[in-house]
Amino acid sequence: MKTNDAQFCCLVSAIKSGNKSCANYHYGLTMTSSAATTDADIRSALHRQRLQHHKSRPGTLVIDELGLAHARGRVDVAVINGCIHGYEIKSARDNLDRLGNQLDVYKATLQRLTIVAACRHLPKVLTEAPDWCGLIEAEQGPRGGIQLHSIRAAKSNPDVDPVMLAHLLWRPEVIELLTRVGYTPKQVRRPRKQLYEMLCEVLTPRQITAAIREFMERRQAWRDHPAHA
């Protein structure tokens, strides 16, 4: 989508939703400091307004700051159930210098992605993000509360790499899965990269996702401990 088209879409959405601060921004008016959303504010609103129902579902994990591709990237919030849905937050105080590199990692590792962005970032996000990427606008109201407006729903990522998806599993977990399907201890004495490739030869992406959820529920001590299990 071209930048001008993206700006127009954002403006139309803002007008329809009654979002005056966002509409003013696209008309070229200056945003006040009170509209400068923060990561913490948006994250809290996202959990409270959009993710609460996931936390009450058995077998669903909601994880903050999930590392991806062995520290090549990190997504702000991940919901793991039948698929892995990442939520990336871009507050008004953030810049988008890393967005391109982040999207490269997300395209390879996440089955769905939604970007939750302040109004000032919407045109660039709409321009750079793939069409399957969801978009939520985060607006700070006059009393400081965050309102979330859906711009576009997330769809399935057609480009996810099963091997990169499997990187969410630890080496002992991959070995356990391979052992379950009949590999011998000698056969799994391989480099980590090769183990991931072997796993993707015998399990479907859906089965790998189920395994990721299973092992993350079982982990007792790790930095990215689930907010809900």
Helix (H), strand (E) at residue 14: helix 3-17
CA torsion sign, 119 to 144 to 37 to 87?
A: negative
Tell me: do 67 and 35 sit in the same domain: yes
Output the CA–CA distances (angstroms, integers) from residue 151 to 10, 61, 109, 114, in the order listed: 8, 25, 23, 10
- The residue count for the chain: 229
Asked whether residue 224 is domain-assigned, the answer is no
List pLDDT tens digits, range 119-137: 999 999 999 999 999 999 9
Tell me: do 23 and 130 sit in the same domain: yes
Tell me: do 175 and 140 sit in the same domain: no
Q: What confidence score (pLDDT) does residue 221 get?
A: 55
Tell me: do 39 and 138 sit in the same domain: yes
Strand 73-80 with 112-118, pairing: unpaired
State the CATH number of the domain containing residue 142: 3.40.1350
Tell me: do 148 and 35 sit in the same domain: yes
Q: Residue 160 — pLDDT band, cuts 50, 70, 90?
A: very high
Percentage of the chain with pLDDT > 70?
80
List phi, psi (to 5°) of 42: -70, -40
Asked whether residue 26 is domain-assigned, the answer is yes
Tell me: do 101 and 194 sit in the same domain: no
Asked whether residue 229 is domain-assigned, the answer is no
Asked whether residue 89 is domain-assigned, the answer is yes
3-class state of residue 158 by DSSP:
coil
Helix (H), strand (E) at residue 194: helix 192-202
CB 156 within 8 A of CB 201: no
Tell me: do 137 and 83 sit in the same domain: yes
pTM of the model: 0.82
Range of the domain at 183: 162-218
Which of 152, 178, 200 is the C-terminal boundary of a domain? 152
List pLDDT tens digits, range 6-54: 554 555 455 445 554 554 444 443 343 335 789 999 999 999 999 998 8
| Measured distance CA(71)–CA(63) in Å, rounded | 16
DSSP letter (8 states) at residue 81: S
Q: How many domains does the chain have?
A: 2
Tell me: do 123 and 205 sit in the same domain: no
Helix (H), strand (E) at residue 134: strand 134-140
| Measured distance CA(15)–CA(38) in Å, rounded | 23
